[in-house]
Amino acid sequence: MELQFKSSDSDRLEQKKEMMPKEKKAHKASMEDMEEKLELLMQKQIDHEFENARLYLAMAIWCQTNGYTETAKFFSGHALEERKHGMDFINSLIVMEMPVRQPITKEMKGDYENLEEVLVDAVDREVMTSIMIGKLHKCAIMQGSLLSRVTEEYIEEQYEEEQLFKSILNLFKLHKNKDSLASFESQIGQLTERTGKYMIGKLPDGLHV
């Protein structure tokens, strides 16, 4: 009968040494993939922020053209805020010496049937932004990137923005049912300068619905 011998401790040590370079290479490749993914998500976020700016400017123009001057002011101000977001992300990449390219934006919708369609689209856009910044933040944390400090702050800000837009849409629906869009415009005009930590505007007390 042929005897079966187990590997000695020294044999196992040699095998482990042989495996270590492979494991290191695999870990390095994984980190490089994660870094590439983070750069891609960051650039997509930048593109998205500048697209938001274009969209809200288009909405402001539509509102102004159709007589909703106060709502136009709100979207005009928010367009500037979105552009600032994009520039903040660009500057973060530059400081960290990560690759940066010029933002790529697509043509945004500029024609609407009514004000409700404008507000619904704006809410949908904010929800999409929340999802994207969440994925970016998760990736930054997994890589242990300092970008996670930037994205963490923007997650909090984005939550406020999404809730603000939803409140405005609900406020519109309330006044729409009462056939008092003039009153809606008046209350949008009462949006104050940011009173929260981030908000470009905040519905006055009693206007959240």
> What are the tens digits of pLDDT across the range 106-138?
887 778 999 999 999 999 999 999 999 999 999
| 192 backbone dihedrals φ, ψ, rounded to 5° | -90, 170
Query: How many beta carbons lie within 10 A of that of residue 8, not counting itself?
Result: 9
Task: Give the integer Cα–Cα distance in Å for 27 and 32.
Answer: 9
Q: What is the pLDDT of residue 1?
A: 43
CA distances from 46 to 11, 87, 171, 195, 208 (A): 53, 8, 30, 26, 30
pLDDT tens readout for residues 141-181: 988 888 888 888 888 889 999 999 999 999 999 888 666 78
pLDDT tens readout for residues 43-72: 999 999 999 999 999 999 999 999 999 999
Which fold would CATH assign to domain 31-102+112-192? Ferritin (1.20.1260)
Can you give the pTM of this predicted structure?
Answer: 0.76
Q: What rounded mean pLDDT belongs to the chain?
A: 80
Structure tokens at 177: 């049912």
Q: Which of 46, 39, 42 is nearest to 104 (CA)?
A: 46
User: What helix, strand, coil percent values describe the chain, rounded to 5?
Assistant: 75, 0, 25
Query: DSSP labels for 169-204?
Result: HHHHHHHHHTT-HHHHHHHHTTPEEP-SSS-SEEPP
Task: Give the integer Cα–Cα distance in Å for 50 and 102.
Answer: 11
Strand bridging mode 201-202 / 192-193: antiparallel
Look at the block and give the residue holding tokens 């500048």.
50
The residue type at 106: K
Structure tokens at 133: 């910044």
